[in-house]
Amino acid sequence: MKRSYSKEFKVQACELVVKDHIKVSVVAERFGIHAVMLHRWVSEYETYGEEAFVGKGNQRSGDAELRKLRKENERLKMENEILKKAAAYFAKEQGND
């Protein structure tokens, strides 16, 4: 069965490794977790800092902004294609007059 850990738990374990310079193996044993998992947490903590460990269904602010901009870009591309088709249609209609 997969266990889940709170953000606070992960941050506390990572800070012991990063800030207090305690070995990963010692911290992992003290917290009752596997050292490989703690290595992964520390890596994420060092990369993202306070935005690490966002949880299920959540995104980091940069990822959320990028997703929003991509979605808006796709919508604008669709609108642009519709306007091109409409312009071609009306140009064709005016040519028939």
Amino acid identity of 24? Answer: V
Over residues 41-56, the mean pLDDT reads 84
Over residues 37-58, the mean pLDDT reads 83
From the list 37, 40, 44, 46, the residue with the least C-alpha distance to 18 is 46
Predicted confidence at residue 2, as pLDDT, reads 74
pLDDT 10s digits, 59-90: 566 666 787 888 999 999 999 999 999 998 88
Q: Helix, strand, or coil here: 55?
A: coil
Cα–Cα dist 27/41, whole Å? 12
Q: How confident is the model at residue 48 (pLDDT cuts 50, 70, 90)?
A: confident
pLDDT 10s digits, 12-37: 999 999 999 999 999 999 999 999 99
CB 85 within 8 A of CB 92: no
